[in-house]
Protein backbone atom coordinates (compact mmCIF):
# COMPACT_ATOMS: atom_id res chain seq x y z
CA UNK A 1 0.00 0.00 0.00
CA UNK A 2 1.33 3.46 -0.91
CA UNK A 3 0.25 6.84 0.47
CA UNK A 4 1.49 9.98 -1.35
CA UNK A 5 4.02 7.78 -3.16
CA UNK A 6 5.40 6.37 0.10
CA UNK A 7 5.06 2.76 1.13
CA UNK A 8 3.01 2.07 4.24
CA UNK A 9 6.10 0.47 5.78
CA UNK A 10 8.12 3.71 5.40
CA UNK A 11 5.33 5.79 6.94
CA UNK A 12 4.80 3.34 9.80
CA UNK A 13 8.54 3.04 10.57
CA UNK A 14 9.17 6.79 10.37
CA UNK A 15 6.23 7.60 12.62
CA UNK A 16 6.92 4.91 15.24
CA UNK A 17 10.63 5.81 15.38
CA UNK A 18 9.93 9.52 15.65
CA UNK A 19 7.29 8.85 18.31
CA UNK A 20 9.85 6.83 20.29
CA UNK A 21 12.27 9.73 19.88
CA UNK A 22 9.70 12.29 21.05
CA UNK A 23 8.87 10.19 24.11
CA UNK A 24 12.51 10.59 25.13
CA UNK A 25 11.67 14.30 25.45
CA UNK A 26 8.21 14.07 27.08
CA UNK A 27 8.97 16.67 29.76
CA UNK A 28 10.22 19.11 27.14
CA UNK A 29 7.07 18.53 25.08
CA UNK A 30 4.86 19.09 28.14
CA UNK A 31 6.63 22.42 28.64
CA UNK A 32 6.16 23.28 24.97
CA UNK A 33 2.47 22.46 25.30
CA UNK A 34 2.25 24.70 28.38
CA UNK A 35 4.12 27.48 26.60
CA UNK A 36 1.32 27.62 24.02
CA UNK A 37 -1.08 29.23 26.49
CA UNK A 38 -1.16 32.57 24.64
CA UNK A 39 -4.83 32.09 23.65
CA UNK A 40 -5.72 31.70 27.36
CA UNK A 41 -3.87 34.90 28.21
CA UNK A 42 -5.77 36.68 25.44
CA UNK A 43 -9.04 35.19 26.70
CA UNK A 44 -8.37 36.44 30.18
CA UNK A 45 -7.46 39.89 28.82
CA UNK A 46 -10.51 40.25 26.57
CA UNK A 47 -13.02 38.81 29.05
CA UNK A 48 -11.87 41.15 31.84
CA UNK A 49 -12.26 44.14 29.54
CA UNK A 50 -15.68 42.96 28.53
CA UNK A 51 -15.08 43.39 24.83
CA UNK A 52 -16.63 40.05 23.85
CA UNK A 53 -19.68 41.81 22.44
CA UNK A 54 -17.45 43.87 20.16
CA UNK A 55 -16.21 40.58 18.73
CA UNK A 56 -19.79 39.35 18.36
CA UNK A 57 -19.27 36.81 21.15
CA UNK A 58 -20.46 36.41 24.72
CA UNK A 59 -18.09 35.23 27.48
CA UNK A 60 -18.86 31.55 26.87
CA UNK A 61 -18.34 31.96 23.11
CA UNK A 62 -15.08 33.78 23.75
CA UNK A 63 -13.86 31.03 26.12
CA UNK A 64 -14.74 28.28 23.65
CA UNK A 65 -13.07 30.15 20.79
CA UNK A 66 -9.78 30.62 22.65
CA UNK A 67 -9.73 27.03 23.96
CA UNK A 68 -10.29 25.86 20.36
CA UNK A 69 -7.55 28.21 19.17
CA UNK A 70 -5.22 26.68 21.78
CA UNK A 71 -6.05 23.13 20.65
CA UNK A 72 -5.69 23.96 16.95
CA UNK A 73 -2.35 25.63 17.67
CA UNK A 74 -1.15 22.52 19.55
CA UNK A 75 -1.71 20.38 16.49
CA UNK A 76 -0.57 22.79 13.81
CA UNK A 77 2.57 24.22 15.38
CA UNK A 78 5.56 23.95 13.04
CA UNK A 79 9.30 24.26 13.75
CA UNK A 80 10.76 22.82 10.55
CA UNK A 81 12.75 25.97 9.78
CA UNK A 82 14.71 25.69 13.03
CA UNK A 83 15.44 21.94 12.70
CA UNK A 84 16.29 22.30 9.05
CA UNK A 85 18.64 25.21 9.70
CA UNK A 86 20.43 23.28 12.44
CA UNK A 87 20.71 20.14 10.29
CA UNK A 88 21.90 22.17 7.35
CA UNK A 89 24.60 23.99 9.33
CA UNK A 90 25.78 20.90 11.22
CA UNK A 91 26.00 18.67 8.15
CA UNK A 92 23.29 16.27 9.30
CA UNK A 93 21.33 17.11 6.17
CA UNK A 94 23.98 15.48 3.98
CA UNK A 95 23.11 11.83 4.66
CA UNK A 96 19.40 12.69 4.35
CA UNK A 97 20.01 14.13 0.89
CA UNK A 98 21.68 10.90 -0.19
CA UNK A 99 18.77 8.66 0.74
CA UNK A 100 15.81 7.88 -1.53
CA UNK A 101 13.40 9.83 0.67
CA UNK A 102 12.74 13.56 0.47
CA UNK A 103 14.35 15.07 3.61
CA UNK A 104 11.25 17.19 4.30
CA UNK A 105 9.24 14.00 4.84
CA UNK A 106 11.42 13.18 7.86
CA UNK A 107 10.43 16.52 9.37
CA UNK A 108 6.75 15.83 8.61
CA UNK A 109 7.06 12.55 10.50
CA UNK A 110 8.78 14.32 13.41
CA UNK A 111 5.95 16.90 13.61
CA UNK A 112 3.20 14.27 13.46
CA UNK A 113 4.95 12.23 16.15
CA UNK A 114 5.27 15.34 18.30
CA UNK A 115 1.56 16.04 17.87
CA UNK A 116 0.79 12.54 19.12
CA UNK A 117 3.04 13.16 22.13
CA UNK A 118 1.33 16.50 22.84
CA UNK A 119 -2.16 14.97 22.78
CA UNK A 120 -2.40 13.88 26.47
CA UNK A 121 -0.95 17.22 27.65
CA UNK A 122 -3.39 19.16 25.48
CA UNK A 123 -6.32 17.13 26.85
CA UNK A 124 -5.11 17.70 30.42
CA UNK A 125 -4.90 21.48 29.80
CA UNK A 126 -8.39 21.48 28.23
CA UNK A 127 -9.81 19.61 31.25
CA UNK A 128 -8.16 22.12 33.61
CA UNK A 129 -9.68 24.95 31.56
CA UNK A 130 -13.15 23.43 31.91
CA UNK A 131 -12.66 22.99 35.66
CA UNK A 132 -11.76 26.67 35.95
CA UNK A 133 -14.54 27.76 33.52
CA UNK A 134 -17.30 25.16 33.94
CA UNK A 135 -19.86 27.28 32.08
CA UNK A 136 -17.80 27.09 28.90
CA UNK A 137 -17.92 23.27 28.76
CA UNK A 138 -19.20 21.82 25.50
CA UNK A 139 -18.76 18.65 23.49
CA UNK A 140 -18.60 19.15 19.75
CA UNK A 141 -20.69 16.80 17.61
CA UNK A 142 -18.87 14.02 15.73
CA UNK A 143 -19.17 15.71 12.27
CA UNK A 144 -17.98 18.97 13.85
CA UNK A 145 -15.05 17.15 15.43
CA UNK A 146 -14.18 15.45 12.15
CA UNK A 147 -14.28 18.73 10.20
CA UNK A 148 -12.20 20.48 12.87
CA UNK A 149 -9.66 17.61 12.78
CA UNK A 150 -9.48 17.81 8.99
CA UNK A 151 -9.12 21.57 8.88
CA UNK A 152 -6.46 21.48 11.63
CA UNK A 153 -4.41 19.02 9.55
CA UNK A 154 -4.83 21.21 6.49
CA UNK A 155 -3.76 24.17 8.64
CA UNK A 156 -0.70 22.18 9.70
CA UNK A 157 0.05 21.43 6.03
CA UNK A 158 -0.13 25.14 5.11
CA UNK A 159 2.06 26.12 8.07
CA UNK A 160 4.54 23.36 7.26
CA UNK A 161 4.75 24.37 3.61
CA UNK A 162 5.12 28.06 4.51
CA UNK A 163 8.02 27.28 6.86
CA UNK A 164 9.55 24.83 4.37
CA UNK A 165 9.55 27.65 1.86
CA UNK A 166 11.47 29.79 4.33
CA UNK A 167 13.69 26.83 5.33
CA UNK A 168 14.70 26.33 1.69
CA UNK A 169 16.29 29.79 1.85
CA UNK A 170 18.88 28.12 4.10
CA UNK A 171 20.57 27.08 0.89
CA UNK A 172 21.18 30.78 0.20
CA UNK A 173 21.27 32.60 3.52
CA UNK A 174 22.24 29.86 6.03
CA UNK A 175 20.30 31.70 8.75
CA UNK A 176 16.80 31.49 7.37
CA UNK A 177 15.23 31.38 10.84
CA UNK A 178 15.58 35.18 10.77
CA UNK A 179 13.27 35.20 7.75
CA UNK A 180 10.76 33.15 9.71
CA UNK A 181 10.09 36.26 11.81
CA UNK A 182 8.62 37.83 8.67
CA UNK A 183 5.94 35.15 8.70
CA UNK A 184 5.51 34.99 12.46
CA UNK A 185 4.33 38.58 12.94
CA UNK A 186 1.48 38.46 10.38
CA UNK A 187 0.72 34.94 11.65
CA UNK A 188 0.32 36.25 15.16
CA UNK A 189 -2.09 39.03 14.17
CA UNK A 190 -3.96 37.55 11.23
CA UNK A 191 -4.37 33.92 12.30
CA UNK A 192 -6.88 34.62 15.06
CA UNK A 193 -4.52 33.66 17.85
CA UNK A 194 -4.72 37.04 19.59
CA UNK A 195 -8.27 37.98 18.72
CA UNK A 196 -11.08 36.42 16.66
CA UNK A 197 -10.94 37.84 13.15
CA UNK A 198 -14.52 39.02 13.50
CA UNK A 199 -13.08 41.83 15.66
CA UNK A 200 -11.22 43.30 12.67
CA UNK A 201 -12.68 46.15 10.61
CA UNK A 202 -14.18 44.74 7.40
CA UNK A 203 -11.48 46.25 5.17
CA UNK A 204 -8.68 44.64 7.26
CA UNK A 205 -10.65 41.40 7.41
CA UNK A 206 -10.99 41.34 3.61
CA UNK A 207 -7.25 41.83 3.27
CA UNK A 208 -6.49 39.19 5.90
CA UNK A 209 -8.70 36.64 4.15
CA UNK A 210 -6.48 36.99 1.05
CA UNK A 211 -3.53 35.59 3.07
CA UNK A 212 -3.12 32.00 4.30
CA UNK A 213 -3.03 33.05 7.98
CA UNK A 214 -6.78 33.03 8.89
CA UNK A 215 -6.91 29.39 7.74
CA UNK A 216 -4.23 28.37 10.22
CA UNK A 217 -6.11 29.05 13.48
CA UNK A 218 -9.30 31.09 12.99
CA UNK A 219 -11.04 28.74 10.56
CA UNK A 220 -10.44 25.41 12.39
CA UNK A 221 -11.05 27.05 15.78
CA UNK A 222 -14.40 28.41 14.62
CA UNK A 223 -15.46 24.96 13.43
CA UNK A 224 -14.40 23.34 16.72
CA UNK A 225 -16.04 25.96 18.93
CA UNK A 226 -19.29 25.83 16.94
CA UNK A 227 -19.13 29.45 15.73
CA UNK A 228 -20.81 30.24 12.41
CA UNK A 229 -18.33 29.75 9.57
CA UNK A 230 -18.46 29.17 5.83
CA UNK A 231 -17.09 25.63 5.82
CA UNK A 232 -16.90 25.02 2.06
CA UNK A 233 -15.12 28.29 1.25
CA UNK A 234 -12.74 27.73 4.20
CA UNK A 235 -11.73 24.26 3.04
CA UNK A 236 -11.48 25.50 -0.54
CA UNK A 237 -9.10 28.26 0.56
CA UNK A 238 -6.99 25.78 2.56
CA UNK A 239 -6.71 23.43 -0.44
CA UNK A 240 -5.94 26.38 -2.71
CA UNK A 241 -3.07 27.56 -0.47
CA UNK A 242 -1.65 24.03 -0.29
CA UNK A 243 -1.84 23.74 -4.10
CA UNK A 244 0.03 27.04 -4.47
CA UNK A 245 2.67 26.27 -1.84
CA UNK A 246 3.60 22.70 -2.89
CA UNK A 247 5.02 23.68 -6.33
CA UNK A 248 6.69 26.76 -4.82
CA UNK A 249 8.47 24.65 -2.18
CA UNK A 250 9.41 22.13 -4.87
CA UNK A 251 10.92 24.76 -7.15
CA UNK A 252 12.80 26.53 -4.38
CA UNK A 253 14.08 23.21 -3.01
CA UNK A 254 15.36 22.09 -6.43
CA UNK A 255 17.12 25.42 -6.97
CA UNK A 256 18.46 25.37 -3.42
CA UNK A 257 20.05 21.90 -3.37
CA UNK A 258 22.12 22.94 -6.38
CA UNK A 259 23.73 25.52 -4.13
CA UNK A 260 24.19 23.17 -1.17
CA UNK A 261 27.79 23.17 -0.03
CA UNK A 262 27.50 20.49 2.66
CA UNK A 263 28.96 22.75 5.32
CA UNK A 264 30.14 20.99 8.44
CA UNK A 265 30.14 17.68 6.58
Partner 1 sequence: MQNNPSDLIVVDQLSKYYRVANKQPGFKGTLKHFFDRKTYDVPAVTDVSFKISPGEIVGFLGANGAGKTTLLKMMCGLIHPSTGLVDVGGFSPQRRQTAFLKEITLVMGQKQQLIWDLPPMDSLYVNAAVYGLSDNEAKIRINELAEMLELGEELTRPVRKLSLGQRMKSEILAALLHKPSVLFLDEPTLGLDVNAQARVRSFLSEYNKRTGATILLTSHYMADITALCPRVICIHKGKLFYDGDLDSLAISLSPSREVKVELKTPFSRDQFEKYGEIQDLNDRFVCLLVSRDKLTDVVSNLLTDFDIIDLEISDPPIDQLIGELFIKGEVN
CA 98 to centroid of chain Cα atoms: 28
**Shortest distance, position 180 Cβ to partner 1, whole Å:** 21
Establish if 77 lies at the interface with partner 1 (CB under 8 A): no
Establish if 21 lies at the interface with partner 1 (CB under 8 A): yes
Site size toward partner 1 (CB under 8 A) is: 29
The neighbouring-strand residues paired with 2 are 7
Establish if 14 lies at the interface with partner 1 (CB under 8 A): yes
d(C-alpha 5, C-alpha 75), whole Å: 24
Residue pair 211/135 in contact by the 8 Å Cβ criterion = no
| Binds partner 1 (CB under 8 A): choice among 9, 44, 54, 128 | 9
Establish if 178 lies at the interface with partner 1 (CB under 8 A): no
The neighbouring-strand residues paired with 6 are 3
Q: What DSSP state is assigned to residue 26? A: H
Establish if 29 lies at the interface with partner 1 (CB under 8 A): no
Establish if 265 lies at the interface with partner 1 (CB under 8 A): yes
Q: What DSSP state is assigned to residue 106? A: H
Establish if 24 lies at the interface with partner 1 (CB under 8 A): yes
Please count the CA atoms within 13 angstroms of the CA of 231 that sit on its side-chain side. Answer: 14
Establish if 7 lies at the interface with partner 1 (CB under 8 A): yes
Where along the sequence are the contacts to partner 1 (CB under 8 A)?
7, 9-10, 12-14, 17, 20-21, 24-25, 91-92, 94-101, 257-262, 264-265
Amino acid sequence: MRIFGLSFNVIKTLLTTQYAYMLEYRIEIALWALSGVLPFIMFSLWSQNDVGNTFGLNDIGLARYFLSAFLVRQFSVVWVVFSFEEDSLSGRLSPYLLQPLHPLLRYVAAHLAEQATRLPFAIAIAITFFILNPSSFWLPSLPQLFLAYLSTHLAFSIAFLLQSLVAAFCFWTEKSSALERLIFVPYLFLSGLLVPLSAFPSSVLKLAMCTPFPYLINFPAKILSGMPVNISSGFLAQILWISILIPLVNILWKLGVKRYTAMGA
